[in-house]
Amino acid sequence: ARKPQSPAAAAAARAEVPPRPGLPVVAIVGRPNVGKSTLVNRIIGRREAIVEERPGVTRDRKEVEAEWNGRAFTLVDTGGWLARGSELDEKVSRQSEQAIASADAILLVVDATTGATEDDDRVARILRGATAPVLVVANKVDGESREHLVWDLLRLGLGDPHPVSALHGRGTGDLLDAVVDALPDEVDDAPGDGPGTDGPPVADADGAVAVAIVGRPNVGKSTLFNRLIGEERAVVHDLAGTTRDSVDTVVETDAGPLRFVDTAGMRRRARTSEGAEYYSLVRALQSVDTADVALLVIDATEGITHQDQRLAERVDAAGCPVVLLLNKWERLDAEARKHVTDDVARRLAFVGEAPVLKISALTGKGVDRLLPTLAGTISQYRRRVPTRRVNEVIGAAQAAQPAPHGARVLYATQGATDPPTFTLFTNKDLAPTYLRYLERTLRDAFDLHQTAVKIRVRRRS
Ligand code: GDP
Ligand code: GDP
């Protein structure tokens, strides 16, 4: 008879048979001996993989079916990752790479008691480019007294670590909640559907930057798009997009490949009325969720409308950096130009220091500045600042202007990019005005004016 199973083992019996095809795949990676097999066993609620006290014992890539809260997924234990070494190690690493490429979510298991090693850093660097969401599992946190060890793992740059003890089951329920959250939304019969919008921004495997062109109907999106394609005179190819029925266009530019998101309606010159509706607000908003940067096109002859404002708010809320394009600029006289410029400052103040370009998509005037501006914005969006520098800047800011009531940032780190996200560990709550002061300081110090910046505060008590 089977032993009583862990709560996570609802599908333990089914795990005896090979996983069903079509399930989302969760890959477990990490260097040998961090506890990957133990974690797999914990999740599926049985002991099958060999666990030994020796590094690198579990060699074979194992696939089992698991389930949590009614959500079934395939768990792939990659059997370890060594970036260099013997032939066997290389084979294992290749298997890990394959698993990563095909995964819907990735668990990077790290031994919290030893902290992040060079090997962990190397793997993390690779994972930062992965399309699938990555969760850092801080394993061997067997008790409260080891909780503080997870801090060191923030420097892997993959977000907040999840402390667990695979051996004792501590924290594994919370981890599985997060795993299920990170999986793409369940699809009925459309395997081509993209990841859910909850995951981190989609970064192309080939490094292409995803650009969404958004704006109300008739502001000039298609005209601009066709001009960009025409002027680049470059390899242009269509690609299945990340949302249902969408088509993306990849354009090779001097600034690297750009993937214009959801461009089906824009390639056609003469569009039907259905085509005009195609880029409705909803559609535009979807494209923003899969983009690294948005071009918000505004018809300058109409000023900043309420709908422009709403779109800008939504783009901003998605954490997507934005470049504002005041189009049809050639039609405005001097007075109108001044009026629109004031309007941007007044009505779109919340997009902060987003670049504003005055262009004519029709004549091409000003369009040449678009690509360099985009490149600058993207590099800020992806900027990574070493932890040491973050702490120096925060330290200096606090010395120059201490927070009221003895509140202090004890330690700070950039936990994520896209957009730059800073985590501040504090002894007390910080006043909102003081947080804004710190944010401003960070933006100034690291030249982060054109991108959203997120600040997270963790109270350490
Ligand atoms: P893998 O080779 O990376 O998959 O690691 P294993 O699962 O084989 O575990 C390596 C060693 O770490 C074994 O001796 C495990 O018993 C031990 N281990 C795994 N998880 C934990 C944990 O949560 N706490 C402690 N203290 N030890 C663990
Ligand atoms: P979309 O609905 O946002 O894709 O807008 P279109 O690209 O179809 O453009 C709508 C209309 O605006 C068309 O008649 C374009 O020729 C015109 N248009 C686009 N850009 C400009 C511009 O820079 N100046 C002027 N005067 N007209 C433009």
Residues at CB less than 6 angstroms from ligand 1: 30, 32-38, 51, 53, 57-58, 139-140, 142, 165-167
Say whether 364 counts as a known binding-site residue. no
Return the amino acid letter for 410: L
From the alpha carbon of 32, which atom of ligand 1 is closest?
3
99 assigned to a ligand binding site? no
Q: Minimum-distance ligand to the CA of 78?
A: 1
Band (pLDDT 50/70/90 cuts) for residue 440 is: very high
pLDDT at residue 237, as a whole number = 57
Residue 5 pLDDT:
39
Residue 283 known to bind ligand: no
Token pair recorded at residue 238: 């269509």
Q: What is the pLDDT of residue 103?
A: 82
Mean pLDDT of 383-403: 92
> Which one has a higher pLDDT value, 196 or 153?
153
Tokens of 333: 């006289």
pLDDT tens profile 148-173: 888 889 888 888 899 999 999 899 98
Look at 64-68, 228-232, 256-260, 365-369 and tell me which has the smallest mean pLDDT. 228-232
- Ligand 1 atom nearest the C-alpha of 109 is 3
Please report the atom of ligand 2 found closest to the CA of residue 223: 7
Closest residue to atom 10 of ligand 1, CA basis: 33
Mean pLDDT of the chain: 77
Q: What is the pLDDT of residue 439?
A: 93
Q: Among 15-24, 54-63, 372-381, name the one with the lowest average pLDDT.
A: 54-63
Q: Give the model's confidence band at 228: pLDDT under 50 very low, under 70 low, under 90 confident, else very high.
A: confident
Q: State mean pLDDT over 250-263.
A: 79
Q: Are 229 and 236 in contact (CB under 8 A)?
A: yes
Sign of CA dihedral 47, 53, 54, 55: positive
- For residue 291, the CA-to-ligand 2 centroid distance in Å is 23
Tokens of 244: 């249902």
Q: How far is the CA of 52 from the centre of ligand 1 (A)?
A: 8
pTM comes to 0.51
**Ligand 2, residues at Cβ distance < 6 Å:** 215, 217-223, 327-328, 330-331, 360-362
Task: Judge whether 93 is annotated as a binding position.
Answer: no
| Model pLDDT, residue 20 | 62
Task: Give the DSSP H/E element, type plus range, for residue 19.
Answer: none
ipTM: 0.54
Residue 16 confidence (pLDDT) above 90? no
- Closest listed ligand to the CA of 39: 1
Q: Which residue has the higher pLDDT, 233 or 282?
A: 282
Tokens of 152: 């060191």
Counting from 1 in the atom list of ligand 2, the atom nearest the Cα of 330 is 24
pLDDT at 201: 34
The pLDDT value recorded for residue 251 is: 82
* Atom of ligand 2 at shortest range from CA of 265: 4
Number of the ligand closest to the Cα of 47:
1
Distance 302 CA to ligand 2 centre (A): 13
Q: What is the Cα–Cα distance from 35 to 159, expressed in whole angstroms?
A: 20
The closest ligand to the CA of 139 turns out to be 1
Nearest ligand for residue 62 CA: 1
Q: What is the pLDDT of residue 138?
A: 97
The annotation status of 142 as a binding-site residue, yes or no, is yes
Burial of 353 (0-12, 13-18, 19+ CB in 10 A): exposed
Choose one of 38, 64, 111 to mutate for the ligand 1 pocket test, by most ligand atoms within 8 angstroms of C-beta. 38
What 8-state DSSP symbol labels residue 340? H
State the distance from the centre of ligand 1 to the C-alpha of 84, rounded, in angstroms: 22
Residue with the nearest Cα to atom 17 of ligand 2?
Answer: 220
Identify the sign of the CA torsion 313, 315, 317, 322. Answer: negative
In the reported structure, the alpha carbon of residue 360 is separated from the centroid of ligand 2 by a whole-number distance in angstroms of 9
Cβ-based burial of 460 (10 A; exposed 0-12, middle 13-18, buried ≥19): exposed
What's the 226 CA to ligand 2 centre distance in angstroms?
A: 11
